[in-house]
Structure 1
Amino acid sequence: MSELASESSAQREPAVSAALQGAGPRSTGRAPGPWGGILLVVEHFWTWYRRNWRATAVSSVLQPLLFLLAFGVGFGSLVAGTGSAAEATGGVDYLVWLAPALLAVSTVQSAAFESTYPVLSGFKWQRFYHAMAASPISPAQVALGHLVWVAAKMAGSGAIYVIVIALFGGVGSAGIVVSLLAAVLAGAAVAALVTAFSATRENEGAAFNALFRFVVIPMTLFSGTFFPVDRLPEWVQPLAFVSPLWHGTELARAAALDRWQPLAALGHLAYLVALLALGIALSTRFFARRLVR
């Protein structure tokens, strides 16, 4: 009986194998084009996010809302009646003047966070970057997929923030939509540079603490967010001009208040695009160095 069973099983195996081979398309061993690999990485992040979005709701939505209430509504009500505040904002209500800057701040802060611990986790703790690189997806596509996801996430949370701003009366014109694009560009530039930095780290340790303490927080406070940069001491102003957040804030504010200066806008745009290109080049290089061993 056992011989008959073995013979019967041997006869079924080719048929089962043939059925499985014909059940669906066979892998080509390659990702479907450069963008195909990138989109597969984005799909990975989206699959996780749609099940765990509540874990990031505080940092992506609630925190900017608290900034808006504290500075735009609370502090804004204190300075609204002063002549110096009107002079600084060009006669615009402080909440309307502040809102596009807070939009840029929220995207940049989110970009910095999403490109530190999550990146190191992909290499060290969860190691899902190694799993991706073991497939036909290239390390460069892994890096670009991460950056595309961060930009998409910033755009989504930024759109929610724009709605909140509008509900509080902080939207002065339809230019706030362009402000969102400028904010996402600034955030993408920061994300690309920080991702490249994180890809070189073996431990989070002091590196990430120093990044947030000595780069992100000062950049938030001294990039023209809460008051114009020309109110700073002259020796500090050049540091603000280097900040990608300042360039993003200037673009976002010019769009929201309809105060375009073409040459200045082109300068801000060129600076952010250059930082983004530099960050992408470094990120793809460091991802390849770390994943191809």
Structure 2
Amino acid sequence: MTQPVRRRAPSAPGVPALAVLSYHLAAYRRTWRAGVFSSFLLPVLTVLGFGVSVGGYVDQGVDGVRYLDWIVPGLIASSALQVAVSESTWPVFSNFQWVKTYLAQSAAPLRVGDLLTGHLAFVLFRVLTSMAAFLLVTALFGAVRSPWAVATLPVVVLLGLAVAAPTFAYAATVSSDSWLAMLLRFAVIPMTLFAGVFFPVESLPLALRWLAYLTPLWHGVDLCRAATLGVAPQWSTVGHLLYLAAWAVAGWLLARRAFRRRLVV
């Protein structure tokens, strides 16, 4: 049984977190080629499948907007959520349970905040690069109607942090990877289906509508849709950003607490 490391004083994330980020980037250098093709193929398939094929049956679009143009920002936000979750579930669980990377790193002059922040920074790097490719492909399809579309990139980074941070906390506390699959089934999939990605939230019953408003994804979708269409969001921009930031901060604090329980005595 692995012996826990001795207790260290908590620290705010700082420069040592860059060393953790460098570790994850160095590991990614060996695998990035496998993901480049899918980074461009996935948006092509989703645009063709949902935007062109399904959109062909939506004669008048949504709110006077062509369905392809309306759905693309939702797909960008939901894809950012899925990348953030996939990079924050099994990789985090594995670093504790299987390969025990966190245990090895905690034996170095690194603190819990460094391990957590460095790995989260890598997840945000993956979200940013993947969604930049998605945005480029959809722009080539003519589905971007405003130069403000570039604002989707910082939005998806914030959305990714709002999702990844609490997912880190969850993955650090579960005892089996079966719980990670349950997160996908009972949180990610329903959120993707009912948070305004494929149809307006206003068409839902009132109770489900408010559940959609509580999810971080709806706020990301509304901001991305406003940016790509060049219109005002349905809700306050500042309100959206503060809500996502609250998820991110609360998630980081919970994740740090969970990491400390696993790594520090």
Q: Same fold (TM over 0.5)?
A: yes
- Asked if 2 retains the 8 angstrom alpha-carbon contact of 1:183 and 1:249, the reply is no
In the TM superposition, what is the alpha-carbon distance from 1:189 to its structure 2 partner? 0.5
**SS of equivalent residue, structure 2 residue 199:** coil
Residue 235 of structure 1: how far off its partner (Å): 2.3
Question: Which one of 158, 161, 185 corresponds to residue 134 of structure 2?
Answer: 161
- Corresponding residue of 1:102: 75
277 and 59 in structure 1: CA distance in 2 versus 1, 3 angstrom threshold:
farther
Aligned residue for 2:57?
78
User: What is the CA deviation profile of residues 204-229 of structure 1, one whole-angstrom value per residue up to 9, with x for unaligned ones?
Assistant: 12x11211001000100100001110
Structure whose CA Rg is larger? 1
Unaligned stretches of 5+ residues in structure 1: 1-32
Per the alignment, residue 267 of structure 1 pairs with 239
Partner of 2:182: 210
Aligned-residue offset at 1:58: 6.7
**Match of residue 47 from structure 1:** 26
Contact 1:103-1:180 at 8 Å conserved across structures: no
Deviation of residue 179 (structure 1)?
A: 1.5
TM norm structure 1: 0.82
Q: Is 1:184 paired with 2:157?
A: yes
Q: Is the 8 A contact 1:60 1:106 kept in 2?
A: no
Could you tell me which residue of structure 1 aligns to residue 42 of structure 2? Answer: 63
Count residues with an aligned counterpart: 254
Which structure is higher in RCO with an 8 Å CA cutoff and minimum separation 6? 2
1:233 and 2:212 aligned: no
Distance 1:56 1:121, change over 3 A: farther
2:251 paired with 1:279: yes
TM-superposed CA distance for 1:119, in Å, is: 0.2
Q: Identity, % of aligned pairs?
A: 44
After the TM superposition, which of the residue ranges 166-175 and 273-282 deviates more from structure 2? 166-175
Name the residue aligned to 1:23: none
Question: TM-score of the superposition, structure 2-length normalised?
Answer: 0.90
Q: 1:184 to 1:277 in 2, by over 3 A?
A: same
Once residues 129 and 228 of structure 1 are traced to their aligned partners in structure 2, the CA distance between those partners, rounded to angstroms, is: 42
Separation in structure 2 between the aligned mates of residue 69 and residue 122 of structure 1, nearest angstrom: 37
Deviation of the 1:91 alpha carbon: 1.6
**Residue 118, structure 1, aligned to residue 91, structure 2:** yes
Match of 1:147 in 2: 120
| Partner SS state of residue 195, structure 2 | coil
Which runs of no fewer than 5 residues in structure 2 stay unpaired? 1-11
Q: Deviation string for 1:202-259 (max 9, x for gaps)?
A: 2212x11211001000100100001110011222111101111000001111111122
Residue 17 of structure 2 corresponds to residue 38 of structure 1: yes
2:173 aligned counterpart, secondary structure: coil
Give, in angstroms, the shift of residue 55 of structure 1: 4.2
Q: Cα offset for 1:90?
A: 2.5
Structure 1 residues 105 and 58: CA distance shift in structure 2, 3 A: farther
Matches of 1:185 and 1:150, distance apart in 2? 11
Question: 2:52 and 2:105 mapped to 1: Cα distance?
Answer: 46
